[in-house]
Amino acid sequence: MSSGLLDFFTLEATEYVETLDGLLARAQGATPDLEACVRQARALRGSATMAKVGGIADVANALERTSHAVLAGTVGWSDAMRGAFVAAIDDLKILIRGVRTWGEAETGRAAARARELAQFAPASTTAGSAAPNASVFLATEAAEIARALMAFADNPVGPAGIAPTLQRVRGLRGIALLKDLPPLPEVVDVLDQAAKSFELGGAVTPTLRALFHAAAVVLADGSISLTRGDRPATASEALTAFAAAAAAVGGGAAGADDIVPISALFPDDGAPGLVSASPSPPTSAAQRFRLEVVSHAEHLRRLVADARGAVDAATRERLARDLAAAALALAKLSTSFSESALAAFFEGQRAQASLLAGAALDMLDRACQLLSAPHGKPTADIVNQLNAPPALVDIASLAPDGQPSLAQRTPAPAAAPAPAAPVGAAPLGSAPTSAAPSGDALSALLANGLAGLSALDETPLVEPVAMDSDVIVPIEDLVYRGRDALDRAIELRDLMRQSAGAPDAAMLAELFDLLELAATND
């Protein structure tokens, strides 16, 4: 172990232990701020683990586990527990001073304190103790980053002062588990993007401080969830605040630059200008448009795919902005190449895409597929294909080659003889001149009227199909479940946003039912 690392650990661990001591002192015998105790104990455990001081890490882990047990209501705070906390903190001070000369005495002291605390909250009773190593490391890093971001938001420093924290933020991308724990990947990406301009000499703005503060709260909540063995929440007030702060900063969805045809820069008076068209250009306008549009289309397709898989509020808010910006960029690009019909299509889909409406996402994905396909069609054909209604299939085309269709193979029903008019009945189509038939007259009318239908028994309109009357369909196959229910709930949410008035009771009832079904495993 290098001397520099031990020096750093001694300073950092002393600060954590002194904070724990202050929390107990301020409580004056009552229950201390247990959430703060969890944060400090977790930070001490992570620092001791990195410095490979296992005894101190064990004591810190026992303090964290016991604080969690009290927070969860598994055990109650008592004088005996307070005494164990005080003794553990006092011994931690001694152990930290002895890290350079660590021996059997220090190992025994640390083990004794860990066993004493384990009596109040055994390791087997807490979910957090079963978390994988990657989750433990990620929880520790998230808590430390949250503490540093909160400190920056309260007392801003220069780029050099926050640089180590930003390096730790970017280092989280190296943890494979991160991508499976939304919204943490979104927080990391937004922090990285927002910090770049600041690192290049930008000023500390109120929006940047608000973003760092909101990100710190989300990371701290995620750290607590990971420590307990849970997944971070994908919907909370903290996430809503973070999404709003990211939107204020920009969230990477900067508006696209205006692109105008060069001819628009000169007066339309017929006089020669400074720029003239080449008589034999190396590429045509259509080829140049295709070179430009393919990269935009692929980018938009990736955003559509991300939007379909997004589950947390922060990611969906960012993707909504990015989708609107990408659709606007394609509309402006199309306008610059005089593709007004294609520009109108993307402009028309932009508002719905910003709501993450499923139909708009499907249309954008289809348009981008057509634009980026090898040997793509002319844009006029693409627009016609996008705007065309669904094609109707001719039933005759479904018959095998060389065979007549089902309609051709079915003989026409034989013409039934015209029924004789019942006694007293008026001619068909004329106004009735008497009361409706009844009694024997009504019986005769019904008999003659239904007689013509008997021909269908000998010559049916279509070939009869045998039906299995014993088929039983499980009720579960007829309702939304799991991801399908969540997708339908998102569609209802989008419809509610578009409606001017308050949503009706039936729509709300369906939304609540879908949320319950979304929690059902497939």
Q: How far apart are CA 232 and CA 216, in angstroms?
A: 14
Residues 148 and 211 placed together within one structural domain of the fold: yes
In a domain, 453, yes or no: no
In a domain, 16, yes or no: yes
Taking only the tens place, the pLDDT of each residue in 240-259 is 888 888 888 864 444 445 55
In a domain, 77, yes or no: yes
Helix (H) or strand (E) segment spanning residue 154: helix 133-154
Domain span at residue 508?
A: 477-518
Residues 80 and 138 placed together within one structural domain of the fold: no
Asked if residues 263 and 335 have their Cβ atoms less than 8 Å apart, the reply is no
Residues 314 and 332 placed together within one structural domain of the fold: yes
DSSP 8-state assignment for residue 1: -
Q: How far apart are CA 455 and CA 417, in angstroms?
A: 10
Residues 81 and 180 placed together within one structural domain of the fold: no
Q: How far apart are CA 493 and CA 503, in angstroms?
A: 10
Q: Among the three residues 109, 129, 149, which one is the final residue of a domain in this structure?
A: 129
Could you list the pLDDT tens digit for every one of the 522 residues in the chain?
556 677 788 888 999 999 999 999 998 889 999 888 988 988 888 888 877 888 898 899 889 888 888 887 888 899 899 999 999 999 999 999 888 888 888 888 998 998 898 888 765 444 333 344 567 788 888 888 988 898 888 888 888 888 888 888 888 877 777 877 888 888 888 888 888 877 777 778 888 899 999 999 989 888 888 877 778 888 888 888 888 888 888 644 444 455 566 666 667 666 666 666 667 777 777 778 877 888 888 888 888 888 887 777 777 777 887 888 888 888 888 888 888 888 888 888 888 777 777 788 888 888 888 888 776 677 778 888 877 765 554 555 545 555 554 445 445 444 444 444 444 444 444 444 445 556 666 566 555 555 555 555 666 656 666 655 555 655 655 566 777 778 788 887 877 777 766 777 777 778 788 887 777 655
Residues 241 and 297 placed together within one structural domain of the fold: no
Q: What is the 3-state secondary structure (H, E, C) of 55-73?
A: HHHHHHHHHHHHHHHHHHC
In a domain, 60, yes or no: yes
In a domain, 466, yes or no: no
Q: How far apart are CA 198 and CA 352, in angstroms?
A: 33
Q: How far apart are CA 190 and CA 317, in angstroms?
A: 12
At residue 133, the pLDDT reads: 58
Q: How far apart are CA 327 and CA 333, in angstroms?
A: 10
In a domain, 41, yes or no: yes
Structure tokens at 167: 């390096």
- Of 316, 323, 497, 521, nearest to 511 by C-alpha is 497
In a domain, 161, yes or no: yes
Structure tokens at 122: 């055994």
Asked if residues 41 and 60 have their Cβ atoms less than 8 Å apart, the reply is yes
Taking only the tens place, the pLDDT of each residue in 388-445 is 765 554 555 545 555 554 445 445 444 444 444 444 444 444 444 445 556 666 566 5
State the CATH number of the domain containing residue 60.
1.20.120
Rg (CA), the chain: 36
Q: Among the three residues 340, 360, 387, which one is the final residue of a domain in this structure?
A: 387
At residue 432, the pLDDT reads: 44
Asked if residues 371 and 382 have their Cβ atoms less than 8 Å apart, the reply is yes
Q: Report helix angle 104-118 to 79-97, nearest 10.
A: 160
Q: How far is CA 418 from CA 64, 423, 437, 456, in A?
A: 94, 15, 20, 16
Residues 8 and 113 placed together within one structural domain of the fold: yes
Structure tokens at 124: 């087997």
- Of 299, 303, 297, nearest to 356 by C-alpha is 303
At residue 446, the pLDDT reads: 59
Helix (H) or strand (E) segment spanning residue 313: helix 313-336
Q: Among the three residues 129, 146, 174, which one is the final residue of a domain in this structure?
A: 129
Residues 15 and 123 placed together within one structural domain of the fold: yes
DSSP helix, strand, coil percent of the chain (3-state; round to 5): 70, 0, 30
In a domain, 356, yes or no: yes
Asked if residues 259 and 343 have their Cβ atoms less than 8 Å apart, the reply is no
Residues with Cβ within 8 Å of 187's Cβ and at least 6 positions away in sequence, in order, are 215, 218, 219, 222, 242, 314
At residue 301, the pLDDT reads: 86
At residue 92, the pLDDT reads: 93
Q: How far apart are CA 522 and CA 520, in angstroms?
A: 6
Residues 239 and 293 placed together within one structural domain of the fold: no
By the 10 Å C-beta count (0-12 exposed, 13-18 middle, 19+ buried), 192 is classed as middle
Residues 346 and 229 placed together within one structural domain of the fold: no
Q: Count of domains in the chain?
A: 4
Asked if residues 68 and 126 have their Cβ atoms less than 8 Å apart, the reply is yes
At residue 276, the pLDDT reads: 67
Residues 138 and 124 placed together within one structural domain of the fold: no
Residues 61 and 85 placed together within one structural domain of the fold: yes
Structure tokens at 256: 């696209």
Residues with Cβ within 8 Å of 470's Cβ and at least 6 positions away in sequence, in order, are none
Residues 244 and 307 placed together within one structural domain of the fold: no
Asked if residues 153 and 213 have their Cβ atoms less than 8 Å apart, the reply is yes
Asked if residues 378 and 371 have their Cβ atoms less than 8 Å apart, the reply is no
